Amino acid sequence: MHFAYLPLTITHIKEEIPEVKTFVFANDDAAAITYAPGQYLTLVAQDAQMEVRRSYSITSSPALGEPLSIGVKRIENGLLSRRLIDHAKVGDQLLTIGAAGFFTLPDNLKAYQQVFFWAAGSGITPIYALLKTILFQHPAIAVVLIYSNHEPGTTIFYTELQQLEKQFSKRLTIKFLFSVSPRLDQARLHKDLLKRIVKELATTSMSEIVCYVCGPENYRRLCLYGLREIGVPAQNIRQETFSTTKVQVRETPPDVQPHNVSVHFNGETFWFEAQYPATLLQAAKKAGLSLPYSCEAGRCGNCAATCLAGNVWMSYNEVLTDKEMAQGLILTCVGYAVAGDVVLAID
């Protein structure tokens, strides 16, 4: 059973900065895709008889009625990004399995008074959609954006962000950090600068601030540690990673015996056997079942499922919060059935 692919037709291409482009899709095609700001779109392509999936952040805001669009940065060895940046043209059709991701606004957004966005480089792409949504749809919330780049000329959405700051001058504060700045203490984000910025711009208590962080791994780690040190609760910090590098985990599941797995998916139920070293996702593939996935590294959340019965052990998780795991969410790409059979549901 193969996952249904949805076609998308490119209607507009805009170069934001060298090697970064926005791709806009036809409304008729995109109508079949529901998404939330902060999520990504997973595209599918064939290469040498092998299916390749890559995820790109959605930059449009559904609340604003904008046409579905994604931001793509050219990666030197990136199969799909090179194809898109170098060769894609208006009228081309792409295939997607739809939108996914957990880098979204909290259900209880009214519980927060202020949102801090921390972005570096192309990390602005999912944040851009979140930023626009809050500004236009949630007038009671103040917003701060800290955005690190080399220089203004390599800053994605630089003009658009300046316009938003002017339009929402009473609610939006933006600090652009440029590594070419002669002021070395403000050229790059560091822990002391992070703490000074929050102290200067926070208008409420740390418990009423929610933070979104997107950028390279070292940048995200810096933000996470710095924010935790000044009292921002862990559950108030959300991170997005663009890395698909698999983390080598030496630990093995507490149970390596074969177990039966049933999956409720697309209105049907499927059964297969899973056993270490194959993950749940790999076992499903072997059984001919094509489930949603992208990174296969426990870093994007595209493969998330709800465990309805049994136990799933995960070798790595950079996506799900403790609350989400307590609700039964697991990642099939790094998950293993342990201590018996497992029943999963995929929305």
Written as one string, the DSSP assignment of 173-199 is EEEEEETT-S-GGGTS--HHHHHHHHH
pLDDT reading at 77 higher than 90: no
pLDDT reading at 292 higher than 90: no
Q: Enter the pTM of the model.
A: 0.86
Q: What pLDDT, on the 0 to 100 scale, is given for residue 314?
A: 95
pLDDT reading at 1 higher than 70: no
Separation CA 338–CA 340 (nearest Å): 6
Most confident of 210-219, 295-304, 321-330: 210-219
Separation CA 207–CA 66 (nearest Å): 32
Once rounded to an integer, what is the mean pLDDT over residues 223-239? 95
If one compares 266 and 14, the residue with the highest pLDDT of the two is 14
End-to-end, the C-alpha distance of the chain in Å comes to 16
Separation CA 4–CA 323 (nearest Å): 30
SS3 category, 82: helix
Q: What pLDDT, on the 0 to 100 scale, is given for residue 243?
A: 63
Separation CA 266–CA 69 (nearest Å): 26
Query: What's the Cα-to-Cα distance from 90 to each of 22, 84, 275, rounded to whole Å?
Result: 12, 11, 45
Q: Could you identify the residue written with the tokens 């040498």?
A: 48
Residue 273's region, left for phi above 0, alpha for psi from -120 to 50, else beta, is beta
C-alpha 68: how far from its chain's center? 16
Once rounded to an integer, what is the mean pLDDT over residues 65-70? 96
Q: What element of type H or E holds 47?
A: strand 40-47
* pLDDT tens digits, 242-258: 766 666 666 889 999 99
Using a pLDDT cut of 90, give the percent of the chain over it: 77
Query: Of the candidates 344, 334, 347, which has an alpha carbon nearest to the alpha carbon of residue 271?
Result: 344
Q: What is the mean pLDDT of the chain?
A: 92
Q: What pLDDT, on the 0 to 100 scale, is given for residue 248?
A: 67
Once rounded to an integer, what is the mean pLDDT over residues 223-249? 85
Once rounded to an integer, what is the mean pLDDT over residues 122-138? 97
Query: Of the candidates 241, 20, 215, 223, which has an alpha carbon nearest to the alpha carbon of residue 120?
Result: 215
